[in-house]
Chains A and B, each alone.
Chain A
Amino acid sequence: MSRIGVFVCHCGLNIAKTVRVSEVVEFAANLPEVVIAEEYRFVCSTPGQELIAGDIKKYNLDRIIVAACSPLMHEKTFRKVAEAAGLNQYLVTIVNIREQCSWVTEDEDVATKKAKALINGAVYRARLLAPLVSRFIDVNPEVVVVGGGIAGIQTALEIAAVGRKVYLVERTPTIGGHMAQFDKTFPTLDCSACILTPKMDAVLQNPNIELLTYCEVAEVKGFVGNFDVKIRQKARYVDHAKCNACLACVEKCPGKGESEFDEGLAKRKAIYIPFPQAVPQKPVIDRETCTYFIKGKCRLCEKICEQKAIDYEQADSYIEIKAGAIVAATGYDLMDVKPLAQYGYGRYPAVYHALEIERLFNSAGPTAGKVVMRDGREPQSIAILHCIGSRDKNNYEYCSRVCCMYSLKFAHLLKEKTHGDVYQLYIDMRAGGKGYEEFYSRLLEEDVKFIRGKAATVTHRTKNPEEEGKLIVEVDDTLTGKFARIPVDMVVLAPAMKPRADAKDMARMLNLSTDKYGFFMEKHPKLAPLSTMTDGVFIAGACQSPKDIPDTVSQATGAAAEALTIVSKAKMELEAATAMVNAAACSGCRNCVTVCPYSAPSMNEEKGVSEINEALCKGCGLCAAACPTSAIITRHFTNEQVMAEMEGLMEF
């Protein structure tokens, strides 16, 4: 037999106006196991709280029921009162007789009847409530940031700035990401390198940042506050501890490979640094193109290296890191446009994609900043095709957001560098963002030919002499309503930004959900855009959705703050109303393991029963309803408690 106290609130007239409180109190007082039932004008007021605390002691109550406003309003308040009076907070039951009773009817009888029923339900349930204690776990103070693009760099710097240790994991030999490939950035047209390289350098200099380039995340175990991250260090065949970055080896290397950084428009050595300002400045050997690895002889670099840093025997190695939080900033890939045969990329040398153009503009690029085509000619007319794969039901339905702006940037730079005709073929011009619209208007002044319509095809099939030797872009001009053929020397495609090819694997490792394209899902699109369904794992930048640099950087800063809120605490409270498994009743059907979005349940194979990691459990009860033997007990919402409440609600 429990000793229940019921407190019915008038809430001034909010409740008392429609609910006959004294009648309800009398009803409650006569229920079995109810020791005392009281009413008060404002139970949430200080005297009201004192009334409860007093009665808990006076009648030594072991359950209290407060019939007042919604639990979402004052549950916390009354839980505090109970705790203060030495009663476990989970033994408090709130009955919502305001929002869901007195406020939604004018009929006194109806409201009073309902209030009684609701309280009766609470009494049935309260009897079965059990005290719960929140548990605390230690939090590892360090953070892992995955991805060394501008997003990752920014996040790492922010976290390091408050003195927390950060591991910055980058898959390529250098940090910098796509931004390092850009020449200028819209709309301000300031040089990308000039604003990025100082940050890259800052990363290198920062004692709190451990830079792990040429590394990949191999495995992630554990949970918020206690992640175990396994990192694979790909073999560089150069011992960076010894290397003094003289780069003499690069000089001598006979090997030739296509420069990934220059999008294959230029060559690089087999031992190389991706680009002059790369961080770190120390080279790696690319097995595929290295003469020694191919032919078994050469070893020139080894001979030249005074530091004896070259080590052909080097193998992949693994680094184990413990971290309290993880930020995924893995960025994006540019869509491969070859499959879109109608645009002729790969078939016509004069068709380029956006990143290639960026490199052409760049003074440190393959053409030293001159816009010349693969055949060496300078184009006299250029068409820039928007929305290649974006806003396209057959490919990517979404808008990639940055193409309009960089296409305008391209137009501007092409004008500057070629004096040729520049055509913009766009569906809609999207210039939302600080200074973007202005930039657009400015371009309208620069005699760029804007054609509203999505390019249909790019072909070399000519129809008249003046088309000779040119590429013809066919387009429906939706403004004139005419079908146009535009002969040009050069075609620039603005392909969709898409998730990284291996985004799904990363998602699996971090237990993130992805949208239908493969971008990482945020916990809530509006209110938790940087958090994910996995506590302690945050996302920043284009791995969540296409975005420009300013958005990326602000997200990165936000993600840093999110990560810090976790690692800045030494301990962390866990949800108390979690689920647990009654092993004796578990039939090992694995339903819980299959359905849980947090991977809280797991199968203990030799016992043949499932076990729930309460640190991961959020207490939603999904598993409990999936459990055929009701072996899973969702604390505070047990089958017994819920059904008892139903019984009470249905009695009168």
Chain B
Amino acid sequence: MLRKIEQGRFGELIEALLARGPLYAPVRDDRGVNFQLIRKASEPTLDFYNTLQSPKLAWFPQSEDLIRYRLAKGETKGEAISGPVAPTVVLGMRPWDVKSLAIMDLLFLGGGKEDPYWLEKRRLTTVIGYGLASEEEPDGADFFRTLNIGAADSDGSDVFLLKKDGDLLLEGITERGKGLLGELTFLKEGTEEDERYLVAAKAGGKDRKTRFFDLDANAAADKLKAVFADNTFWEKEAEGCISCGTCTFVCPTCHCFDIADETLFRDGVRRRFWDACMFTDFTLEASGHNPRPRTFQRLRQKICHKYSFYIEKFGVVSCVGCGRCTRLCPVNIDIFSLVARAVNL
């Protein structure tokens, strides 16, 4: 089903969504555009190319409380905080970001153990994807096409959003999506012409130019395993790396986290929060032994995890080519060219 609304009435749409429950959407501040929990209908914007950080925080917040406890005489009881997650909407996710959810599902819901926190939010959250309109040029750091992601792919979204002249087209993809659109009675029906436009846009999105090389996932996986032991290669690639966590924190598919107890006075929470395989002490064992003491080993782990191990374990590349890691890397390390070099070694 296809609905539409004038761009001028975007605010109404937001109002309606806010009325239904929590809403995450892109908001512009003095530093750029990022996903935020919306308070006022005026906050969100659709005038952006890509958010600085990935929207993963809606499902996998940077910091999430798991258990609350109070240190008491005798037994210290802990109670799980699986706070009632309300049906939530995330609006304005670019196709590559939407794709990342499926990749994360494999990990958080796979391996025979489901992560209740991720599962709960996935179950209750409606994704409104946001296609890249034909006039918008991809950023030089992007390479989603290499990952075979179209600039206007709608798969993975519940509702797919696309700009058309003065209008916003909303396509219901999943049942949940269609249900949502159904509730938004003030939306107008999309016309045949809109349909055609949409189809064309999606097709056009497929061969939208970003940086590209012909990536065969399985071949890359094997190649990287072969290159793994080539320390000189990795040392050269990593010589600029400062081993910070920027690339992993802005990455939509990085999932590593740490768990810690935070106690003040005698009240505390057990909390999980983003961690990064790039950190020196990520693998440091209590004994003092560290299997990855050197920077190149950590960079190698990160690259191979995405372009080899993940493929071997889950069958997909753990990267969507959003270019965030490259754009925000303090020393301009570029995963795209790095992998290209490795694969063509």
Contact = CB atoms under 8 A, between A and B. Distances in A.
A and B touch in the complex (CB under 8 A): yes
B288 A584 contact: yes
A61 to B, nearest CB: 16
A647 B265 contact: yes
B280 to A, nearest CB: 12
Nearest to B265: A651
A2 to B, nearest CB: 13
Interface string A566-610: 000000000000000000100000000000000000000000000
A32 B265 contact: no
Interface string A628-652: 0000000000000000000100010
B186 to A, nearest CB: 54
Nearest to B76: A32
B73 A30 contact: yes
A205 B157 CA distance: 105
Interface residues of A, number: 7
Nearest to A33: B73
A32 B265 CA distance: 12
Contacts of A651: 265-266
A651 B72 CA distance: 15
Interface in A339-380: none
Contacts of B265: 647, 651
Contacts of B72: 32
Contacts of A31: 73
Interface in A8-35: 30-33
B71 interface: yes
A32 B288 contact: no
Interface in B273-301: 288
A33 B266 CA distance: 12
Contacts of B288: 584
Nearest to A120: B265
B268 to A, nearest CB: 12
A584 B286 CA distance: 12
For the side of the interface on B, what is the size category? under 10
A32 B71 CA distance: 8
Decide if the interface of chain B is mainly helix, strand, loop or mixed.
loop
Contacts of B73: 30-33
A31 B266 CA distance: 10
A32 B76 CA distance: 10
Interface in B146-195: none
Interface in B32-91: 71-73
A31 B264 CA distance: 15
A584 B293 CA distance: 13
Interface in A279-299: none
A32 B73 CA distance: 4
Contacts of B71: 32
A12 B288 CA distance: 53
B2 to A, nearest CB: 60
A33 B73 CA distance: 7
Contacts of B264: 647
Contacts of A647: 264-265
The winner among A30, A32, A33, A651 for most chain B CB atoms within 10 A is: A32
B263 to A, nearest CB: 9
A647 B73 CA distance: 18
Nearest to B266: A32
A631 to B, nearest CB: 13
A582 to B, nearest CB: 11
Interface string B252-275: 000000000000111000000000
A30 B73 CA distance: 7
Interface in B292-312: none
B287 to A, nearest CB: 11
A207 to B, nearest CB: 57
Nearest to A29: B73
B89 to A, nearest CB: 42
A601 to B, nearest CB: 22
A30 B72 CA distance: 9
A32 B267 CA distance: 13
B161 to A, nearest CB: 50
A651 B264 CA distance: 9
A444 to B, nearest CB: 77
Interface in B204-218: none
Nearest to B288: A584
Contacts of A30: 73
B283 to A, nearest CB: 15
A651 B266 CA distance: 9
B129 to A, nearest CB: 47
A169 to B, nearest CB: 48
B198 to A, nearest CB: 58
Nearest to A647: B265
Nearest to B70: A32
Nearest to B264: A647
A121 to B, nearest CB: 12
Nearest to A651: B265
A64 B237 CA distance: 58
Contacts of A32: 71-73, 266
Nearest to B74: A32
A4 to B, nearest CB: 11
A33 B71 CA distance: 10
A385 B72 CA distance: 81
Interface in B222-240: none
A584 B265 CA distance: 29
Nearest to A35: B73
A32 B266 CA distance: 9
Interface string A398-418: 000000000000000000000
12 contacts: A30-B73, A31-B73, A32-B71, A32-B72, A32-B73, A32-B266, A33-B73, A584-B288, A647-B264, A647-B265, A651-B265, A651-B266
Given A31-B73, A33-B73, A647-B265, 9 more contacts: A30-B73, A32-B71, A32-B72, A32-B73, A32-B266, A584-B288, A647-B264, A651-B265, A651-B266
Interface of A: 30-33, 584, 647, 651
A-B pairs, top 3 by smallest CB distance, nearest first, are: A651-B265, A32-B73, A32-B71
Interface of B: 71-73, 264-266, 288
